[in-house]
Structure 1
Amino acid sequence: MKIMRRILPAAITAAMAIGLAPVAHAAVNPILAAPYLYQWSSPPNPTSVMSSTGIKSFTLAFILSNGTCNPAWDGDRSLTGADITRVNQIRSAGGDAIPSIGGWSGNKLGKTCSNATNLANAYVKVIDAGKFTAIDLDIENTDEFQNAGVQDKILGALKIVRQQRPSVKIVITIPTEVSGPETWGNRLIQRSKDLGVAVDVWTVMPFDFSSGGDMVGKTKSAVTGLKNRLKSVFGLSDDAAFRKSGLSSMNGKTDNAGEVVSPANFRSIVSWANSVHLARVSFWALNRDCNNCAGISQGQWEFTRANAAFTG
């Protein structure tokens, strides 16, 4: 089975500037076209990237547990510190951001919090700290994704969040096979129906499949498999199911030897995503979107410019 490896460094150093109060921001859809931006190891300035590429939103990685059922950026930075300052800078430039909760490694809130109520409280703390209008639950690895009890706990928490913050959009991001979600992904989708949890967008990560091959074709196959699963479980039309589906690619060389998503590949993926009206297109990660940063020769921000062309 395929799992995405977004590995956090063992030690993260970051300037802890005093956070500003969240400011009013323009009506930008933070879900639609939002590459992942990880906020350690000298991240690029998002406002400079916005002016260079036309991108309007970013998915900020990651919210983790601080060792208890309390959320923190990367598990050790305050919810109201330098990371929220960055969010406010993005908003002041006319954009927006969505926090990503989870990822491949680190202490996850879904595992650490003892029950759905406590987990929901942690999610609400994140939402309120940044006045976020959407959240991304990146559910991976054996501690959250391959754990039935934790899957149900996360879904139970999201049901509470939906009651307490009804306007907040919910994205769930999961691994996938070429054919679409595999056993654990299919279970999560079915359980969301069983438990009455309204998820706005389901996103798959179509990479780390094998040693290479047609990544455009494999991406289309994986997302179409997701669409078919949503269609079956929720009784949707093809169009409605595509409009609840999304993808998060990986630019350049992926974690699997020989597997590469080129800029041309990603442009084709974005074009197809527009043609079927997906709800979300992202990639991991903006920090790798420069010449040789992702192991390939490319122009600066080439993937980000392509992502900015996604209109849904």
Structure 2
Amino acid sequence: MTRHRPRSRRRLLPSLLLCSAAALALTGCGPDPDEPWSGPYVNATAYPHFDFGTEAAGQSHTVLGFVVADPEEPCTPSWGGYYGLDEAETTLRMEEQIAALRESGGDVVVSFGGAAGSELATACSDPDALFEAYRTVLDRYEVPVVDFDIEYDDLEDQDANRRRAEVLERLQEERDEPLETWVTLPVAPHGLDQDSVEVVAQLLAAGADLAGVNLMTMNYSESRPAGQSMVAASEEAARSAHGQLTALWDAAGQDLSEEQVWNRIGLTPMIGVNDVAGEIVDPAAAGELNDFAREQGLGRLSFWSLNRDRPCTAEHGDPAEANDFCSGLEEETGEFTRVLSRGLED
């Protein structure tokens, strides 16, 4: 989800398990995976390095992006293609920061893929090596929730999508504990495009237990009708995707109610100034999206990104252009986090 390029295209409160701080740090015991949740994405490899262990404290989930294939070793996982897992431990303080989040009562979601680099299933054609690559990451960080952010070339690679689906089913089958699994896909007001539909269909056909589909409600470009607000476009996209996903789960032999399908949908807006000119999500719009998520009983509400949840300063350049380190709006630091998590964090 790192800086997307333009593309056409119940109110239930999450509960925290009662764990000691020591148990949280050691076991990852934290939020109930069956409850709807809110959690920002973090651009974990952005420089200057981001102190997500402090900045995300208090959130039930923090989504760390992105694990991709090492550019020189396609079956080896890396953070952003820049840091191997051992290097990330020292340079990014990855384990230290994850432990800090767990001590504060939350947990992490590891996101594979994103807009930059190659998702492991695309780069690694050996299913057994791919299985080991994913398992290495999940075991190292004791991950209870995983996210696959599938975009661009990764999205269009049918062989990779089948390979990922089959390996994911193997991973879930071998684990003693459930692995809550989300797939994050681009969306337009008219819904998911055919490549995205195929990704979901392949996951279900492989027998993977899919917790939900997270919709990137951002960068609509020409798919958003002139004059339609970002909130209206996002709500329309969610309703369109709801119909598509109902049909997909039905075709896979899962007869889900309307409410159950809503609970398997997530939304992820890009806060502030988006990559597409004229697309802006301000705190008021974020509040409307939060209302929509709670009213419909969505399973997840995220945003891109926690790094950006602050006003720009002179060192960040033109606030009218999307920036990796600030929203481009006059806001209080952390305002989007507070607004988007309202009623979903306790």
Amino acid at match of 2:237: A
CA distance in 1, matches of 2:115, 2:103: 31
Q: Which residue of 2 aligns with 1:49?
A: 55
Structure 2 gaps, min length 5? 5-24, 251-255, 313-325
Structure 1 residues 105 and 185: alpha-carbon distance in aligned structure 2, compared to 1, 3 A threshold: same
Aligned residues: 294
CA distance in 1, matches of 2:156, 2:282: 30
Percent identity, aligned pairs only?
Answer: 26
The worse-fitting range, judged by mean Cα deviation, of 55-64 and 28-37 is 28-37
Q: Which residue of 1 aligns with 2:328?
A: 295
Partner-residue secondary structure (3-state), 1:256: coil
TM-score, normalization by structure 2:
0.79
Q: Which residue of 1 aligns with 2:139?
A: 128
Shift of the alpha carbon at 1:243? Answer: 0.7
Q: Determine if the alignment matches structure 1 residue 38 to structure 2 residue 49.
A: no
Amino acid at match of 1:96: D
Partner-residue secondary structure (3-state), 2:85: coil
Q: Which residue of 1 aligns with 2:169?
A: 159
Amino acid at match of 2:31: V
- Structure 2 counterparts to residues 1-312 of structure 1, below 5 A: 6=3, 23-29=26-32, 32-39=37-44, 40-50=46-56, 54-66=58-70, 67-68=72-73, 69-80=75-86, 81=89, 82-142=93-153, 144-165=154-175, 167-210=178-221, 213-235=228-250, 236-292=256-312, 293-311=326-344
The worse-fitting range, judged by mean Cα deviation, of 176-185 and 159-168 is 159-168
| 1:43-99 superposed Cα distances (whole Å, 9 cap, x missing partner) | 443344345xx4332101111112320112222324251212211111112211111
CA distance in 1, matches of 2:49, 2:285: 25
Amino acid at match of 2:115: W
The worse-fitting range, judged by mean Cα deviation, of 258-267 and 165-174 is 165-174
CA distance in 1, matches of 2:249, 2:296: 18
CA distance in 2, matches of 1:48, 1:224: 36
Structure 1 residues 305 and 282: alpha-carbon distance in aligned structure 2, compared to 1, 3 A threshold: same
Query: Does structure 2 conserve the Cα–Cα contact (< 8 Å) formed by 1:193 and 1:234?
Result: yes
Amino acid at match of 2:339: A
Shift of the alpha carbon at 1:181? Answer: 0.7
Query: Does structure 2 conserve the Cα–Cα contact (< 8 Å) formed by 1:6 and 1:103?
Result: no
CA distance in 2, matches of 1:43, 1:298: 22
The worse-fitting range, judged by mean Cα deviation, of 165-174 and 188-197 is 188-197
Structure 1 gaps, min length 5? 8-21
Structure 1 residues 5 and 43: alpha-carbon distance in aligned structure 2, compared to 1, 3 A threshold: closer
Q: Which residue of 2 aligns with 1:12?
A: none
Query: Does structure 2 conserve the Cα–Cα contact (< 8 Å) formed by 1:213 and 1:259?
Result: no
Query: Does structure 1 conserve the Cα–Cα contact (< 8 Å) formed by 2:122 and 2:157?
Result: no
Shift of the alpha carbon at 1:24? Answer: 3.0
> RMSD value over aligned CA atoms?
2.3
| 1:239-285 superposed Cα distances (whole Å, 9 cap, x missing partner) | 01001111111001111111111111011101110111111110110
Partner-residue secondary structure (3-state), 1:151: helix
Query: Does structure 1 conserve the Cα–Cα contact (< 8 Å) formed by 2:267 and 2:300?
Result: yes
Query: Does structure 2 conserve the Cα–Cα contact (< 8 Å) formed by 1:98 and 1:132?
Result: yes
CA distance in 1, matches of 2:112, 2:200: 18
Structure 1 residues 197 and 130: alpha-carbon distance in aligned structure 2, compared to 1, 3 A threshold: same
